[in-house]
Amino acid sequence: MNAFRQLLGSSGAHPPIGTWISSGSPIVAEAMGCAGFDWGVLDMEHSPLDLMDLVHLLQAVASTKMLPVVRVPWNDAVVVKRVLDAGASTLLFPFVQDADEARRAIAATRYPPDGVRGMAGINRGSRFGTIANHATTANQQIGAIIQLETPAAVKRLEEIAAVPGVDAIFLGPADLSATMGHVGQPMHPAVLDLMSQGVQRCKAIGKPVGTVGSTPEVVAQYRAAGFDFVAISSDLGLMMRGAQASLAALRTRDTEHVHTLASGTRAEAAY
């Protein structure tokens, strides 16, 4: 069984918490896994990752509890085939607009006769040919999450979710807010209302639904709305927020805080 499906099925009343891996760094990805995240999106859409970079990230997080979800750059069968051969087992498909696109995404993850994935015997996905009956069992091991990022896609939520092989829906607040005319305002009331409706519709059909928020406060709102799995920020976002908070604690506009063992922390005029 797919590991991400197992995670969702065993989480109960506690939505699994993830983050985005945007840095492209295996060391940072491994650190995020060691920090305790349940899952993490290795992002090929908005990060400078090529295929070998992805392999290194998958290797880095393999020793941690963080389950990797690979967001492919686009709904492209060639890309999907190579990502699966590289060892990914759960994929996030961005910007899916209708059921036909969802069917195309699922077909790309399946070997024939269920799909169009090209056959290969020796690759990282088959543990270099050592998984018994890989060609006949792989289809059941792959997970697919479909990302809805426009009001038109959300309108078609039920038909997209009904496509066989779709394991979960993901509502993307950034793109939703932009396509709704509220660029940079993912917490706009109209966006939150549409996302809340999406959650309730997913509940009605029994399909897990997830999203991502920038801060713990935002994620808490999403959890209260009923999302089944949530991510907070990204490795870069968390790093930048921590770095900026540390700098803000040590600097003001007109003074710079200086710490010495003799006098502790004091403010000095900045020149």
Specify the DSSP class assigned to residue 62: T
Which position among 14, 46, 56, 134 bears the catalytic label?
46
Non-local CB neighbours of 32 within 8 Å, separated by 6+ positions: 19, 21, 40, 61, 66, 235
Q: Considering only CA atoms, which of 148, 245, 236 is closest in space to residue 198? A: 148
Contact, 29 vs 65, CB < 8 A? Answer: no
Q: How many CA atoms lie within 13 A of 88 on its CB side?
A: 30
Non-local CB neighbours of 209 within 8 Å, separated by 6+ positions: 168, 169, 170, 171, 198, 199, 202, 203, 227, 228
Respond yes or no: is residue 14 known to be catalytic.
no
Contact, 70 vs 42, CB < 8 A? Answer: yes
Please tell me the distance from the alpha carbon of residue 146 to that of residue 167, in angstroms, as a whole number.
Answer: 8
Number of residues in the chain: 271
Active site residues: 46
